[in-house]
Amino acid sequence: MLPTLGGRIQTRLWLLAVIGGLVTLIIGPVLPVSAPLGTVYRDNFLILAAIAVLGIGWECLYHLVMQWRWEKDWPTLFGLVTVVPEGLLVWVLLRAGAIPGIQGTVPAPAYVIDLLAVWLSVWLVANGPMRVPFIRWRFHGGRLV
């Protein structure tokens, strides 16, 4: 999929909500966290929401970077490695207590496992299976509506 700015944002929000939500639900019980499952889910979904909301800003930045590319494309690998800056930013905000609603402390291993599982799933779906239910998606710059 070759993204437009609107398409990037729509795709991110949809994939994080649906695929990210599913992965978070599945992975919650096995994360190395000594807290009640309700708290784990609450914290992880808040982190997911933070990635989604902050991602709107990130997508604007990516869109700007993309303008220097003649093809106006976004290579597959870029979609994967952007987990590093995005994950670091959320981690810093988490440590600073800047993500509202988080209860207790989220251990680093649990954060990394959850983040990577969500990111990898979203990236894999975006690079193939997404085209099956949404046949117009790839021709519309990633827009779903």
Partner 1 sequence: MTDQPTELSGADTGQAQPATIQYARPPAAVAEARGAGDLTDALIAADQWTDEMVTAAGIPVTDVPFVSVGGGIGSFVTVDYLRIAGVAPNRMAVLSNLDFPWQTYKYLTRVSQIPEPERIRSDSASRPDNIWGFPSYALAEAVTERTVAPLWQVLIEPIWADYYTPKAGRVFAGLERERKRIGYDQMLVKGQVRMIRKRAGGGYFVILTPMVGSAATKRLAYRAEFVHVAVGYPGLKFLPELQDFRTEHQDFHHVVSAYEEHEHVYETARTKHIVVMLRGGGIVASRVLQRLMDDRAKYGLSTEIVHLFRTYIATSHGPNAWNRRKGGNGFAYQGFNYPKSVWGGQLKARMRKLEGTDRADAYKLMGGTNTPWRRRWQAQMNDGRAAGWYRTMAGTVEQMRLEDGKIVSTVKTSAGLVDVAADFVIDCTGLEADIAEHRVLADLLEHSGVGRNPVGRLDVERTFELRGAGSGPGVMYASGATTLGGYFPGVDTFLGLQVAAQEIVDDLARRGFCHRIGTLRSVRQWVRWAQNKTP
Among 97, 100, 136, 145, binds partner 1 (CB under 8 A): 136
Among 32, 34, 67, 100, binds partner 1 (CB under 8 A): 67
Under the binding rule (CB under 8 A), the answer on residue 70 touching partner 1 is yes
Residue 28 to residues 20, 37, 132, Cα–Cα distance (Å): 12, 7, 28
Among 34, 96, 135, 145, binds partner 1 (CB under 8 A): 135
Binding residues for partner 1, rule CB under 8 A, total: 29
Shortest distance in whole angstroms from residue 98 CB to partner 1: 33
Encoded one letter per residue, x for contact with partner 1 by CB under 8 A and - for no contact, window 76-95 reads xx--x---------------
Which residue, among 138, 139, 112, 140, has the nearest Cα to 126 in the 3D structure?
A: 138
